[in-house]
């Protein structure tokens, strides 16, 4: 079984914020593959399992708050028949250092200042698991980055999100089903430009 974890904060007040884009990707992934997400106390979050292109997958949204995401991930890794974490765990999260909508699939590495990912790495005792970073960009003014990620997307960004989230779903599915190298080659470029208006 392979596990996809989307990072975010629980509660309706955070649902549309930049920091919750990992949740939104996992929710679209569940919709695409007909997987029902439900509360799972063992994993302190929303959880579902099923098939994605014939591959057994589990989906998890930790509801432990972002900075304690590793608590839920460790519980799921310990309980589920996950194979090698270096290929069978994918963590999806927001990234300030990527322009809005750009994707980066990576086989491992540091947390890059992301507290949710850092907590997962600390609790698992390793950082060699794949991740899918979804660019949310940095503020153009003096807004503190901690405040920035807890704000909603701008209206033009929100309008573009459906297509960008679908790209992220396709990238996550590729990482699960085709392997991390294939996903990197296919999805690490810039998103296509929007169609001309009118």
Q: Quick: pLDDT tens for 25-66.
A: 999 999 999 999 999 999 999 999 999 999 999 999 999 999
Q: Which of 113, 62, 122, 68 is nearest to 92 (CA)?
A: 62
Beta bridge partners of 175: none
**Residue that the structure tokens 């991390």 belong to:** 180
Range(s) of the domain holding residue 100: 2-187
Q: How many domains are there within the chain?
A: 1
- Residue 193 is assigned to a structural domain of this protein: no
- Residue 192 is assigned to a structural domain of this protein: no
Q: Which of 19, 33, 63, 114 is catalytic?
A: 19
Which pLDDT belongs to residue 55?
Answer: 94
- Residue 37 is assigned to a structural domain of this protein: yes
Q: Quick: pLDDT tens for 148-182.
A: 999 999 999 999 999 999 999 999 999 999 999 99
Domain containing 22 — which CATH number?
Answer: 3.40.50.1470
- Residue 73 is assigned to a structural domain of this protein: yes
Catalytic residue list contains 114:
no
d(CA 104, CA 134): 7
The H helix count followed by the E strand count for the chain is 7, 7
Neighbour tally for 131: CB within 10 Å: 28
Q: Quick: pLDDT tens for 131-141.
A: 999 999 999 88
- Residue 194 is assigned to a structural domain of this protein: no
Whether the CB-CB separation of 86 and 108 falls below 8 Å is answered with yes
């Amino acid at each position: 079984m392979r596990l996809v974890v989307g990072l975010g904060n629980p509660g309706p007040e955070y649902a549309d914020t930049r920091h919750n884009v990992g949740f939104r990707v996992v929710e679209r992934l569940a919709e695409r593959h007909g997987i029902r997400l439900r509360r799972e106390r063992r994993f302190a979050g929303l959880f579902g399992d099923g098939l994605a292109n014939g591959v057994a997958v589990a989906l998890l949204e930790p509801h432990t708050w972002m900075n304690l995401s590793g608590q839920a991930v460790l519980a799921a890794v310990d309980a589920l028949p996950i194979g090698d974490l270096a290929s069978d765990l994918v963590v999806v999260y927001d990234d300030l250092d990527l322009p809005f909508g750009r994707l980066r699939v990576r086989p491992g590495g540091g947390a890059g200042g992301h507290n949710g990912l850092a907590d997962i790495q600390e609790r698992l005792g390793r950082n060699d698991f794949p991740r899918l970073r979804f660019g949310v960009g940095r503020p153009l003014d003096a807004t503190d980055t901690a405040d920035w990620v807890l704000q909603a997307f701008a209206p033009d960004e929100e309008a573009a999100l459906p297509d960008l989230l679908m790209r992220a779903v396709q990238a996550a599915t590729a990482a699960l089903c085709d392997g991390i190298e294939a996903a990197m080659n296919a999805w690490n470029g810039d998103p296509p430009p929007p169609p001309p208006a009118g």
